[in-house]
């Protein structure tokens, strides 16, 4: 059983948080580029485009987090990396769900621009993503 107090204390390391924020900025840029490209160039519904853009960002962020933010965590084998990639995708579904729901509600119920709604959704999903990545993907509490 995970001791949440210890896991939370381990996760609150400012260097790692700032690295995660920087990686998140790269992921956000990828997310926006794909989202805007799909909506503006291919007339894809913003909620569907969000799912594709989020997965693109997840893969890009995993690659950077794997080699920088959490480089000292986890087994450096093909199997270990594959486990973390799959786990990262699963745990980030929570953040993606939060971001997508925020985008859907803000655009359909309140008429907010899909670009502003996407920014709000990404901000809302950040904490979920950071804590879940620490706990389950890289297991920094061990």
Q: What is the pLDDT of residues 79-100, one digit of tens each?
A: 999 999 999 999 988 988 999 9
Q: What is the DSSP letter of 41?
A: I
Strands (E), 1-142: none
Query: Does position 3 have pLDDT exceeding 70, yes or no?
Result: no
- Domain residue limits, the chain: 12-137
**Confidence (pLDDT) at 107:** 97
- pLDDT tens track for 133-142: 888 888 776 6
With beta carbons less than 8 A apart as the criterion, state whether 114 and 39 touch.
yes
């Amino acid at each position: 059983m995970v001791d949440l107090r210890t896991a939370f204390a381990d996760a609150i390391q400012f260097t790692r948080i700032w690295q995660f924020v920087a990686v998140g900025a790269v992921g956000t840029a990828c997310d926006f580029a794909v989202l805007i490209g799909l909506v503006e160039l291919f007339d894809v519904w913003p909620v569907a485009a969000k799912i594709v853009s989020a997965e693109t960002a997840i893969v890009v962020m995993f690659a950077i987090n794997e080699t920088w933010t959490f480089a000292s965590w986890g087994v450096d084998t093909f199997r270990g990396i594959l486990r973390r990639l799959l786990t990262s995708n699963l745990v980030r579904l929570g953040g993606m769900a939060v971001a997508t729901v925020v985008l859907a509600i803000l655009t359909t119920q309140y008429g907010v621009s899909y670009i502003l709604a996407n920014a709000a959704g990404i901000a809302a999903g950040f904490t979920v993503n950071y804590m879940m990545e620490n706990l389950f993907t890289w297991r920094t509490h061990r």
